[in-house]
Amino acid sequence: MECPQKRETPTGSSPAGMFDRFAPEYDEGFHTNRVGTFMRQVWGSILETHARPGDRLLDVGCGTGEDAIRLAGHGCQVHCVDISPNMISIAREKAAHAGVGPAVTFECSSFEDPSLASKSLFDGVYSGFGSLNFTADLANVLANLRQKVREHGWLIAMVSNTASHWDILTRLLTGKPGWAFDRIRGVPTEITSQHGSSGIRFFSRRFFLDTADEAGFSVLFSRPLGCLIPPAYLAETPLGSSIWLRMADRIERITHKLPVLRSSGDFLVVGLGRHTPEP
């Protein structure tokens, strides 16, 4: 499948190649890792509390389509966009296999492309597990996505946060202080894995909310995900036990408005509303 190559990346290197190579193994990390499975479940239930059966939704950076398949099973119509052709192929196969094929459509393109999803309007737009962190121009992407949301519709984004005490501590302990400080400061940096590397930029809660405000969204809610819930690489420690995960999730929900806790965690989940018509 041909797909346009994205240029506007935080450090200039495109994520398409890296995610193409990662695609065949991507789900394994979620299905075999207790933390990954749990996080996917929490994120999916957040989406389900906002999406109503019959809603038309846009999945931005859909990956292998886990959320789209879940929401199609919930009665929604989902249009999925991703820059990686291999991610799209796997997502399409999974949707057919899950019996929700007719409710899910696919488009291989960059979410930075303003002609994305042509002129369609959606009841809700969502983006899970840090897809939006792969843009160098969040302001532009949010402004474009706002055009895709109908009035009184919503956008819910799960983005990688600058203030991840887990990751920063781990990077410091493993001798990568430069990377850790780039993450805290939100400067463009490079993630490298066996699948290749890509530019990425982490967002602080304040930066994300201010950028969303400038793009014309109002804030419906914001909460950390992964403040007490540990990252996937700690799944085999006692912090990955199901008792701790359930307790951590409950505490995160109760404490999400406390000033320090609301801003720290591996991910932030931000709900935005489009309440005003075009100026």
Ligand X SMILES: C[S@@+](CC[C@H](N)C(=O)[O-])C[C@H]1O[C@@H](n2cnc3c(N)ncnc32)[C@H](O)[C@@H]1O
Pairwise CA distance, residues 219 & 216, whole Å: 10
Q: Which is nearer to ligand X, 134 or 203 (CB)?
A: 134
Is the Cβ of residue 131 or residue 164 nearer to ligand X in the bound state?
A: 131
CB closer to ligand X, 112 vs 167: 112
Q: Which is nearer to ligand X, 15 or 271 (CB)?
A: 15
Q: Quote the least distance from Cβ 260 to ligand X, whole Å.
A: 26
Q: How far is the CB of 258 from ligand X (least distance, A)?
A: 27
Nearer to ligand X among residue 77 and residue 84 (C-beta): 84
Minimal distance in Å, beta carbon 246 to ligand X? 21
Token pair 């846009």 is found at 58
The residues that touch ligand X, with contacts defined as CB under 6 A, are 6, 15, 19, 61-63, 66-67, 81-84, 87, 110-112, 128-131, 134-135
Tokens standing for 98? 């899950």
Q: Roughly what angle, to the nearest 10 degrees, separates helices 34-50 and 15-31?
A: 100
Find all residues with CB under 8 Å of 141, minimum gap 6, and list them.
Answer: 111, 112, 132, 135
**Element (H or E) spanning 41, and its range?**
helix 34-50
Please give the Cα distance from 196 to 44 (Å, whole number). Answer: 28
Label residue 260 exposed, middle or buried (CB < 10 Å: 0-12, 13-18, 19+).
exposed
Q: Indicate the residue among 179 and 255 with the shorter CB distance to ligand X.
A: 179
- Paired sense of beta strands 196-200 and 218-225, if any: unpaired
CB of 275 to ligand X, least distance (A): 26
Task: Give the nearest residue (CB) to ligand X.
Answer: 63
Shortest Å, Cβ 279 to ligand X: 27
Q: How far apart are the first and last CA of the chain?
A: 39
Q: Find the shortest distance in angstroms from Cβ 225 to ligand X.
A: 12
